[in-house]
Amino acid sequence: MTKNELYGMLKDIIDENSIFIDESMKKHISFKVGGPADVLVRPKTEDEIKDIFSFLNDNNIPFLVKGNGSNILIKDGGFRGVVIEIADNFSSFEIVGDDMIIQTGALLSSIGRAAMENNLTGFEFASGIPGTLGGALAMNAGAYGGEMKNIVKSVRLMDEKGKIVEFTNEEMEFGYRHSILSDRKMIAISAVISLKNGKFDEIKEKMEDLAYQRRTKQPLEYPSAGSTFKRPDGYFAGKLIQDSNLKGASVGGAMVSEKHSGFVINYNNATATDIINLIEHIKSTVYDQQGVRLEEEVKILGED
């Protein structure tokens, strides 16, 4: 099926202004690199997501579901297939008592502000993570001693046929940077998170303190995908990289951050290939010098 044929069929499902052909992924991932996707769609309703998801599965068309693009890297050749972007186009929420019912395109920062404004505590740890709720659920995002598994009550998931099922916290199989979404062909549509009553000033102070820690310890001024590597058992990736004398190491426009060695950054118009080659150099050097195999946390997708 050609891109134009695919576009014509998608127009029967979703408004044509929400369909983009040959869309540069540089505009859609936090690394600011990557070639074009054949087609990118931005659905606004559950029905649109259901119909798109069913259509792509029924026709065996490759697809990628993404949120804010803060934990993925698209290669320079782009993505052959359809990218489904579930971000600010699908991000409403409501508050019922101490619970927040949230569509998965909502940014974690927006959820954090809303929780604070409603005197709800428990989400502060996630308020500075640069991603959407959907990505946070898929990876059981965590920071500063908190994890999504500690606050999620239930998640509504869509299977490959468009059927929606509700999973409990336990059924989500949350683990370190893992959930059932890591293993199954499903999309998170919405979730209920359970928070607690708190005091506005205390919540605000904690959020500001965590934001300060991020600014001073992480290279937020450069495009990146956050922590590039998972934490190996018994070690810290950043320390392993620093102890291997890789702080400041670079390939093309990609560099190991001098502020935090666990971050690979796009400091000077890097290509995706620059970043991938630097990641591989880090992995081989750390293994040679420290005997530890690093596994990237960022997902690398697309064509060379």
Q: How far apart are CA 166 and CA 172, in angstroms?
A: 10
From the list 109, 154, 177, 190, the catalytic residue is 177
* Dihedral of alpha carbons 38, 89, 130, 147, sign: negative
Q: Is 177 labeled as catalytic in the residue annotation?
A: yes
Residues making up the chain, counted from first to last:
304
Catalytic residue among 70, 109, 227, 257: 227
Q: What dihedral do alpha carbons 170, 139, 109, 129 form, nearest 10°?
A: 130
How many Cβ atoms sit within 10 Å of the Cβ of residue 248?
11
What is the distance between the alpha carbons of residues 93 and 103, in angstroms, rounded to a whole number? 6
Contact criterion met (CB below 8 Å) for 58 and 126: no
* Separation CA 85–CA 65 (nearest Å): 6
What backbone torsions phi and psi does residue 268 show, to the nearest 5 degrees?
-155, 70
Phi, then psi, of 240 in degrees rounded to 5: -60, -40
Q: Which of 160, 171, 173, 297 is catalytic?
A: 297
Q: Give the contacts of 155 (CB within 8 A, at least 6 positions apart).
A: 137, 166, 167, 172, 188, 190, 191, 192
Q: Which residue matches tokens 């979404």?
A: 181
| 80 a catalytic residue | no
Q: Any catalytic annotation for residue 227?
A: yes
The partner residues of 251 in beta bridges, in order of sequence, read: 254
Q: Which residues are catalytic?
A: 177, 227, 297
